[in-house]
Chains A and B, each alone.
Chain A
């Protein structure tokens, strides 16, 4: 059992009743009706939380919908996921939010928290009705996919969001520096003849936003950090006591721009995969806490959006189901500790959001938990992925470590077929 909230990492029995975790019963007090499971050799952790997914419903259900997305989330060990607002129509008002929540309730299993837009229609012109979104249960807003580049608008967004204690999540990209960009601006891009997306386009926005957040004292969160150049700014903001947090994706921790060679559209993602020096710096920053948490940026796309010229291909990696398998490789090669990995998927992620209780396996906590077979080898395939799309660089590759069961509120939301 790994429970970062209580610094627990030990072999232990766990008892669950009525959807809550209980203290171990006295000898002889185990009710006859109890179901006993032997999970020797497995890890039990609090349920994973993903602050960054795209479930495409409403509007692009051919890529993914709430039902398939929540099944994929459960299969990846996630008990709570947050969805970005770039649905069609955009989630910039209460009616969309409530419709999404209603659909997620019908589907059941993994819990879903819809995030709202910062600006109406993600157009970067006027602020969305944040107060209304907050009343509908939206704790965070983001124009993810687009950056709020206008400094005056971003300042207003931080001010107004802090009015409702909402988190502002920025997709950090100075679009002026990334016109036509296809991949990281490095030697590989220039060899392949693809326009580069320079680190500075991210660093500039991170630095500017931290300056603005210093003025407003708002909650500010950097989405999918990719550049080593952004890290010192975040560290400095934390040292100053600002409420600045950051997430990193499994693909930015595991891959570099070398994976794009051969025009592999499954590795086309925004922000782009960068160089080894960035990847290593991101892992280090995650380990030391400069980066708070791991988020998948699960971005499903259909095959027609990936089986095409690289420049035509959509950006994004399908991430919910492969996250753990790719991250465990970092633990095995000694770059990341197992407890920090679990923390970054659970308690640290929860802490970034207002009013999300830290997940825990303590007595009385809701029974949201994930069971992991850390050494089981498996392959994500078109037939076995729960997601409606299969755009992952790990398709048909061998991964080691997999989620075998996911429990949400005391009910199994996922049981791996060979682990019944």
Chain B
């Protein structure tokens, strides 16, 4: 990952950027707040490349990862982010939690509150779960994905990756392809990219597109080619077999043939366009291995950016408690 200076105006560290108490979604973040987040993340990239990958920034702070939905990469990323900042990190997964014993999410969070955490990172299958918890507790809440609503740290790490590679987000054409209907990644990215002045479009089979445009300025295409036309960035979303089934779509094979991103479709994008995927990828389904592993792919950059971005998130929110 390059760390060349960005052409976007960096946030002025002297100017007071209002840091919200929670990170619930990209809908509510301003351009300045996003830039501040990305600039903070840049300072943390280097930490993970040292021989001793730890700084004392959050010593004495407590971060709880409450994951009520299966997740390996996001949970690992948050766990390492907390540990590299020297926070005490506790992981609670659904299988181990009282939620499976019939305890309500509210009761679980009230119980956690009594343990005085600084930040709770919540992954939950219900849209709005993070908003709900944030309205009921004193600790800071980071939304690590709520149903089909938002996944703000994914959008931040994607923005970080793009900005490091292309220097800016402004004026870029970004095509987001796949199961838009069920995707919190698509929604968070669209909020962030629109705020930052990118041009966003969606592409996918009609049953997996929202029946109504979510944003009038985000066109939707039922084929990849018009979406890819002139794109600077192509984001490919993971397609889940059970989603295909619920949308009554025929088969993964047909999906791969008509809506998968292969070398031929890629020719429609700008030469050198970035290829992104939030992972985990289904090789040969939504993305051809030749594209996923090709020179334009920044999929592994995204993973590294995720760590730096989540360090920034925890740092900004846990630090915020002192004021």
Contacts and interface: CB of A to CB of B under 8 A. Distances in A.
A308 B127 contact: no
Contact of A308 (B106, B146, B147, B149): B106
A161 B187 CA distance: 49
A60 interface: no
A193 B132 contact: no
Contacts of B136: 307
Interface string B142-185: 00001111100000000000000000000000000000010010
A34 interface: no
Contacts of B126: 309-312
B95 interface: no
Contacts, number: 66
A193 B213 contact: no
Interface stretch (A17-25, A86-94, A183-191, A241-249): A183-191
Contact of A309 (B124, B150, B212): B124
Given A193-B149, A193-B187, A304-B104, A263 B212 contact: no
Contacts of B210: 187, 190
B211 interface: yes
Contacts of A409: none
A309 B105 contact: yes
Interface string A193-205: 1111010000000
B210 to A, nearest CB: 4
B212 A187 contact: yes
Given A309-B126, A309-B132, A190 B147 contact: no
Given A194-B127, A311-B147, 9 more contacts: A185-B212, A187-B210, A187-B214, A193-B146, A193-B150, A307-B106, A308-B104, A309-B105, A312-B105
28 contacts: A182-B127, A185-B212, A186-B212, A190-B181, A190-B210, A192-B127, A193-B150, A193-B187, A194-B127, A194-B147, A198-B211, A262-B131, A263-B128, A307-B106, A307-B136, A308-B104, A308-B106, A308-B132, A309-B105, A309-B124, A309-B132, A310-B126, A310-B127, A310-B128, A311-B126, A311-B127, A311-B128, A311-B147
A193 B128 CA distance: 8
A190 B105 contact: no
Nearest to A304: B104
A182 B184 CA distance: 17
A191 B186 CA distance: 11
A192 B128 contact: yes
B131 A308 contact: no
Interface of B: 27, 104-106, 124-129, 131-132, 136, 146-150, 181, 184, 187, 210-214
- Main SS class of interface, B: loop
Contacts of B181: 190
Interface in A177-230: 182, 185-187, 190-196, 198
B178 to A, nearest CB: 16
Contacts of A310: 126-128, 132
B127 A191 contact: no
Contact of B105 (A182, A196, A308): A308
A193 B147 contact: yes
Contacts of B105: 308-309, 312
Interface string A307-350: 11111100000000000000000000000000000000000000
B128 A309 contact: yes
Contact of B184 (A187, A193, A196, A262): A193
A315 B233 CA distance: 42
Across the A-B interface, the 8 shortest Cβ-Cβ residue pairs: A193-B149, A193-B148, A263-B128, A193-B127, A309-B126, A190-B210, A311-B126, A310-B128
A311 B131 CA distance: 13
B132 A187 contact: no
A193 B106 CA distance: 21
Interface in A369-406: none
Contacts of A186: 212
A312 B211 CA distance: 24
A305 to B, nearest CB: 10
A409 to B, nearest CB: 45
A272 B138 CA distance: 32
A130 to B, nearest CB: 38
Nearest to A275: B212
A192 B149 contact: yes
B116 to A, nearest CB: 22
Interface in A34-70: none
A187 B216 CA distance: 10
A191 B187 contact: yes
Given A308-B132, A309-B124, A196 B211 contact: yes
Contacts of A263: 127-128, 131-132
Contacts of B127: 182, 192-194, 263, 310-311
- Tell me which of B104, B105, B128, B136 has the highest count of chain A C-beta atoms within 10 A of its own C-beta: B128
A368 to B, nearest CB: 43
Contacts of A190: 181, 210-212, 214
A225 B181 CA distance: 27
Nearest to B181: A190
A262 B131 CA distance: 8
A185 B27 CA distance: 20
Nearest to B214: A190
Contacts of A187: 210, 212-214
A312 B105 CA distance: 10
Nearest to B216: A187
A190 B211 CA distance: 9
B154 to A, nearest CB: 14
B18 to A, nearest CB: 20
Nearest to A191: B214
A301 to B, nearest CB: 15
Interface in A145-195: 182, 185-187, 190-195
Nearest to A263: B128
Nearest to A198: B211
Given A192-B149, A193-B148, A194-B148, A309 B211 contact: no
A304 B136 CA distance: 13
A191 B127 CA distance: 10
A192 to B, nearest CB: 6
A126 B213 CA distance: 42
A191 B150 CA distance: 9
A190 B124 CA distance: 18
B211 A185 contact: yes
Contacts of B124: 309
Nearest to B246: A179
A310 B127 CA distance: 7
A176 to B, nearest CB: 11
A204 to B, nearest CB: 16
B20 to A, nearest CB: 15
A195 B128 CA distance: 12
